[in-house]
Structure 1
Amino acid sequence: MKESVVIHKLTKEYKIFRTNKERLKDVFLPRHKSKRFHALTDISFTAYEGDIIGLVGINGSGKSTLSNIIGGSLQPSSGTIERHGDVNVIAINSGLNTQLNGIDNIEYKMLLLGFTKKEIKELTPEIIEFSELGEFIYQPVKKYSSGMKSKLGFAINVMVNPDILVIDEALSVGDQTFTKKSLDKMNQFKEAGKTIFFVSHNIGQVKDFCTKIAWIEGGKLKAFGSNEEVLPQYQEFLKEFNQKSAHDKKAFKDEIDKTRFFYK
């Protein structure tokens, strides 16, 4: 199997400022130590062609940060990521201009992806058909529901046929019929040897669709391996976590966050 995405010791940190005064100190005082937050710390794993990797973890664990780095919209603070092929990201509102209508968004997004006017004209009818938006394709995207935006974004991205696809909660909205059709399309991609990263809180979808699991907890890679190996561990963790009171859930998250904040 060929390597598709290689992530090595990847870390993403953010500077945290409570006031503009702190922000100015960071700019003008070279020795000033600012508060930092580790969204991700020392993540390493390799995805191969045909892998469908579920990125799982509770809210705030770092899943979306990792998916954005894989997709290229964020850069790591340290470490490396190698992508062997074209990457597309499907997330609600991803790459859509809410001031344009659906048709214009198809052209806008595909021009950004490097397609010619002729290629766009040829693919547009297929995209419209897959999206199931009908006459709404001529309406401004700002009037779309979350499900309609997801349908349009999904239809555009799957029709441009990327080598690596990142799906971030894009199948969590919309109707079951479209979700099934989208999963069928993803299975076609799998059979074609493409690599898919799937971010979802829907454990049923993750179980049915993914071949491997990357469990992110507190910005760190808790476990990585086959669906059969890792998913039961994560499900057991979720069961215990969901049985906690609201107070205990907050205490659990606060304890993890203590290790993610530091001064530098």
Structure 2
Amino acid sequence: MAEEYKIQVKNITKQYELFKTQSEKLRSFFALNRKPIPHFWSLMGVSLTVKPGETLGLIGVNGSGKSTLSNIISGIIPPTTGTVDVKGDTSIIAIGAGLRGNLTGLENIRLKALMQGLTNQEIDNLMDDIVSFADIGDFLYQPVKSYSSGMKSRLGFSIAVHVNPDILIIDEALSVGDDTFYQKCLDKINEFKAEKKTIIFVSHSLKQIELMCDRVAWIHYGTLRQLGDTDEVVSEYRQFTKWFKGLSKKEKKQFQLKMKQDQKDFDIDAFQNELIEEKQKAEPNNPRVASEVKHQLYGSVISEKMSGGNVLLTWAVLLVGLFLAGVNVSGHSVSEVIQHPSSIVKPVKHLDLPGENK
């Protein structure tokens, strides 16, 4: 019997291209860059499941991919490869996540709640509770861009927990704010745990992780280094951080550079071949292993670049548009320009207008 889960990610990777300019980014979208763009793999083949009613902690040093993974699960960003299966509605709490800077706090409450599928009547019924929990006073009527990080966290947390999601994703949202608000957040999270809601909790605070989480995933420079019981994984992570702190400044820098270089050198084709070999060993009589693995990696992924066919179609539409514009300006008919292409640069001296006497 297959294991029951609320969230399942398989072979998730995420590649970021390191553009220097906006024009480079635009050319890359249309596949027009002559030189290859440097890239960086934030995630390199992460697979894990989260059980219904479980609180899973995500730990790891800065830049390891924790927030990238939580954003992929919540649907904010797409993966480069892999599958994400989320059974339920998610609500992510991160400092400023989903808040529009030019809108007031009150307007952001309504916008985010509407995006979560609530009706205006349901939002009106929740409004007093959301405002009271956030407790940001008259700043509620000011643009969010004027808020401190703590106030953004207060507002975002309050909205997220009151729309009653199936899955709550908390990304460092408890790292700012005062003790009073922190306790309110803990109480609300414990309410969710009592209701058997599924929670993903991203934090650098190991004490918070130990207090709240049933299991922990240690994301280590783009890979899943360890997944297991909270006490076991946190203990291993503490040993790693103790080892790292014991290094000299030069050794720390060398270690970090090596890890980052590994993320730049990751070969997605080699990773795919490894998956094919593993599946072939498990299913030696299956002739479709390679195609099945490719489908698992790319079948549900939305490309962030135009395909070759779409690039050709775009150029074809552009050229046809320019041709028709030129014909219109020249004053000749389309058939005449087709028969005599040079006429497109020789506009007629006089256009016959409707109703004009000749």
TM-score normalised by L of structure 2: 0.69
The yes-or-no answer on 1:144 pairing with 2:116 is no
State the alpha-carbon separation in 2 of the partners of residues 21 and 145 from structure 1: 33
2:218 is matched with which residue: 200, 206, 215? Answer: 215
Structure 1 unaligned blocks of 5 or more: none
Q: Which residue of 2 aligns with 1:83?
A: 86
State the alpha-carbon separation in 2 of the partners of residues 229 and 80 from structure 1: 28
Contact 2:24 2:33 in 1 (8 A): no
The yes-or-no answer on 1:158 pairing with 2:161 is yes
State the alpha-carbon separation in 2 of the partners of residues 180 and 21 from structure 1: 47
The yes-or-no answer on 1:200 pairing with 2:181 is no
Question: SS of the residue aligned with 1:261?
Answer: helix
The code of the aligned residue for 1:161 comes to N
Contact 2:168 2:199 in 1 (8 A): yes
Q: Report which of the two structures shows the higher radius of gyration computed on alpha carbons.
A: 2
1:18 Cα deviation (Å)? 4.8
The 5-angstrom pairing of residues 240-255 of structure 1 reads 240-255=243-258
The yes-or-no answer on 1:64 pairing with 2:63 is no
Q: Which moved more, 1:80-89 or 1:11-20?
A: 11-20
Q: Which residue of 1 aligns with 2:228?
A: 225
Q: Which residue of 1 aligns with 2:336?
A: none
Report which of the two has the higher share of strand. 1
Q: Which residue of 2 aligns with 1:106?
A: 109
The code of the aligned residue for 1:216 comes to I
1:21 Cα deviation (Å)? 8.8
The code of the aligned residue for 1:189 comes to F
Q: Which residue of 1 aligns with 2:32?
A: 28
* Alignment size in residue pairs: 263
Structure 2 unaligned blocks of 5 or more: 269-358
Report which of the two has the higher share of helix. 2
Compared CA separation, residues 239 and 126, structure 1 to 2 (3 A): same
Compared CA separation, residues 125 and 17, structure 1 to 2 (3 A): closer
Q: Which moved more, 1:228-237 or 1:153-162?
A: 228-237
Question: SS of the residue aligned with 2:31?
Answer: helix
State the alpha-carbon separation in 1 of the partners of residues 54 and 62 from structure 2: 24
Question: SS of the residue aligned with 2:139?
Answer: helix
The yes-or-no answer on 1:12 pairing with 2:14 is yes
Question: SS of the residue aligned with 2:47?
Answer: strand
Compared CA separation, residues 257 and 111, structure 1 to 2 (3 A): same
User: Residues 233-254 of structure 1: CA distance to partner in whole angstroms, max 9, x if unpaired?
Assistant: 0111112222333332221111
State the alpha-carbon separation in 2 of the partners of residues 153 and 29 from structure 1: 39
1:38 Cα deviation (Å)? 1.2
Compared CA separation, residues 20 and 163, structure 1 to 2 (3 A): closer
RMSD: 2.1
Higher RCO structure (Cα 8 Å, ≥6 apart): 1
Percent identity over the alignment is 45
1:121 is matched with which residue: 108, 120, 124? Answer: 124
User: Residues 154-195 of structure 1: CA distance to partner in whole angstroms, max 9, x if unpaired?
Assistant: 000000010111111111000111111111111111121211
State the alpha-carbon separation in 1 of the partners of residues 4 and 164 from structure 2: 18
